[in-house]
Amino acid sequence: MNNFIKSREFWLGAAILGIIFGVSLRAPNFVNFANLADIFNNTSMLIILALGQMVVILTRSIDLSMASNLALSGMIVALINAAYPEIPVPVLMIIATFCGLLMGAFNGILVWKLNIPAIVVTLGTLTIFRGTIFLIAGGQWVNAAELSTGFVQMTRHLFIGLPLLSWFAIVIAIGFFIFMTRTSSGRNLYAIGVNPTASVYAGINVGRTKFNSFCIAGALSGFCGFLWVSRYVIGSVEVANGYELTIIAACVIGGISIAGGVGSVVGTILGALFLGIINSALPVINISPFWQMAISGSAIILAVILNGRSANKKGRIILKTSEDSS
């Protein structure tokens, strides 16, 4: 219990409830199921993407190309949908996820086989993926009129009171929770983040695991590309431009250490929700949306400072020094 009160998840949850409470004093109708569900729905994609990024950061890597991957996968399915509206929507979903997976695998293979630092690889693929959108679409947009209704309605179907988009996030979050805490593959991710050398001796293939983490992040980005096009009804070069840093911000606020090996699924989800709540609360309390960027920036800095504090735990003395024992 004491540990729980000290945990990042507890404080982040409390901060989110505090913001909701504070905002509700100014705008009482902020707190009702429909509005909160709406905020969750708007944050769903950030949650999914942040979980993908979490897996990569845990292994001491970083994926800057997620937003570009999302935009390219989204554009591919948008173009397919515009050209062949008869292809069923679930097939598009699989295509987008697969495209994302391929791009993630490309990042992963460069990191695994060529030992290039992840930040350099994904810095390069960030521009390559986004430029490819321009190439395949010839600089054109895919707009609402060109997309089929089935595709556009996909994320909006209500299922037990929530849109399908929210359900995707919930199912993926639960899946991740089980994966990270109950499977050896999930635990391996933590292991190689905490100590890569020891992991090798423990029989974990570090390079392979990193490769897998990039594949996971890529597949989730591709999947979100599909969701993004369906939700915002647009495919363009500008989709999710600069979003890669928001994804990392959600992870950092959620308590994931950029040094690897530290972080939890619940923390990541709360980190994403924290950004989502701030974004939707500002207009309600009449603060200009232009404040958004500075506030999330401050939140990131604060979160990193708090992360640093909790990491500075004093080491335990296992062996006494000779003066002590004599």
Partner 1 sequence: MSDRQQPTNARLIPDRLTSRLKDNLMSWPSLLLVVALLIFLANSLASPYFLSPWALSDATFNFTEKAIIALAMALLIVSGEIDISVSGIIAITSTMMGVALQFGADTTTLVLVGLSVGLICGAFNGVLVTKLGLPSIVVTIGTMSLFRGISFIILGDKSYKNYPESFAYFGQGYLYWVISFEFVLYLLLAVGFYILLHKTNFGRHVFTIGNNAVAAEFSGVRVARVKFVLFCLTGLMAGVAAILLTSRLGSTRPSIARGWELEVITMVVLGGVNILGGSGSVQGVVIAAFIMGLVTFGLGLLNVPGIIMSVILGILLITVIALPTLLSKFKNRQ
Q: Identify any residues that bridge with 159 across adjacent strands, giving them in sequence order.
A: 162
- Distance of closest approach, residue 207 Cβ to partner 1, in angstroms: 13
Strand partners, 158: 163
Q: Using CA atoms, how far apart are residues 188 and 213, in angstroms rounded to an integer?
A: 11
Burial (0-12, 13-18, 19+ Cβ within 10 Å), 19: middle
Nearer to partner 1, 41 or 257 (CB): 257
Select 93 or 299, whichever has its Cβ closest to partner 1: 299
Site residues for partner 1 per CB under 8 A: 62, 64, 110, 114-117, 119-121, 123-128, 130-132, 134-135, 139, 237, 242, 245, 248-249, 252, 258-259, 288, 290-301, 303-305, 307-308, 312
Cα–Cα distance between 187 and 185 in angstroms, integer? 6
Q: How far is the CB of 16 from partner 1 (least distance, A)?
A: 19
| 3-state SS class at 126 | helix
Comparing CB distances to partner 1, the nearer of 115 and 286 is: 115
The partner residues of 214 in beta bridges, in order of sequence, read none
The residue (of 265 and 300) whose beta carbon lies closer to partner 1 is: 300
Report the nearest approach of partner 1 to the CB of residue 28 (Å).
Answer: 27
Amino acid at residue number 311:
A
Nearer to partner 1 (CB atom), residue 118 or residue 192: 118
Q: How far is CA 51 from CA 45, 67, 153, 263, 272, in A?
A: 10, 14, 25, 10, 9
Closest approach, Cβ 294 to partner 1, in A, equals 3
Give the 3-state secondary structure of 85-116: CCCCHHHHHHHHHHHHHHHHHHHHHHHHHCCC
| Nearest-approach distance from CB 84 to partner 1, in angstroms | 26
In the complex, minimum distance from the CB of residue 256 to partner 1, in angstroms, rounded to a whole number: 10
Q: Is 65 helix (H, G, I), strand (E, B) or coil?
A: coil
Of 16 and 128, nearer to partner 1 (C-beta) is 128
